[in-house]
A and B are shown apart, each in its own frame.
Chain A
Amino acid sequence: AQTVTQSQPEMSVQEAETVTLSCTYDTSENNYYLFWYKQPPSRQMILVIRQEAYKQQNATENRFSVNFQKAAKSFSLKISDSQLGDTAMYFCALDMRFGAGTRLTVKP
């Protein structure tokens, strides 16, 4: 069975600073996809970044980057230069399975 664990229910960061959200997972598959999704308050979920397991290079999308450690089954999200609009729930997903989420608050 595939599982996704996000051990940080809530985090906060000052505007313009950097924050890292943690995610660990378990799977018996060798090839799979990992995602981070963002769900702003009362708004729909959107895809932030995607990582293919067979690629060693970490994915990057503007201010968002991941640290993918396949052997450790770890997939963390780094947000650089945090903005107020980054305030949201962030969900880590392994293929179709989602974690419980981390609530991120960016403080002015």
Chain B
Amino acid sequence: DTGVSQDPRHKITKRGQNVTFRCDPISEHNRLYWYRQTLGQGPEFLTYFQNEAQLEKSRLLSDRFSAERPKGSFSTLEIQRTEQGDSAMYLCASSLASGGREYGYTFGSGTRLTVV
């Protein structure tokens, strides 16, 4: 297992277009998280899954954002009708939570989105 993989690494899109990002977590990890990070800021929580169930979604997230994790494996994050304010690094992380314990996240390298 080579860690958390994110694809693509970079995406440039025109305002109003839809984009989809993919995240492949560490196979043994049951939790998967999506974050958004702008330059010089901390990661902003978007949503997380435990196996295939989406357990929490940020209230800051508009209806244009949707995430899925079919079969509890890889995950996709879709942004519809992109806006310039969506330009950011989108980070995926996975973790193993077992017996009430959380062991910390492994992050991917991120997908940098630029909306022009």
Contact = CB atoms under 8 A, between A and B. Distances in A.
Question: Is the interface on chain B under 10, 10 to 19, 20 to 34, or 35 or more residues?
Answer: 20 to 34
Contacts, number: 44
Interface stretch (A11-19, A80-88, A90-98): A90-98
A3 B101 CA distance: 20
B107 A100 contact: no
B74 interface: no
A91 to B, nearest CB: 5
A50 B42 CA distance: 18
Given A44-B109, A45-B91, A45-B107, A95 B102 contact: yes
Q: Is the interface of A mostly helix, strand, loop or mixed?
A: strand
B42 A44 contact: no
A31 B100 CA distance: 10
A91 B43 contact: yes
Interface of B: 33, 35, 40-45, 48, 56, 91, 93, 100-110
16 contacts: A6-B42, A35-B104, A44-B107, A44-B109, A44-B110, A45-B43, A47-B104, A91-B43, A95-B102, A96-B45, A97-B45, A98-B35, A98-B44, A98-B45, A100-B41, A100-B42
Interface of A: 4, 6, 31, 33, 35, 37, 44-47, 50, 52, 91, 95-101
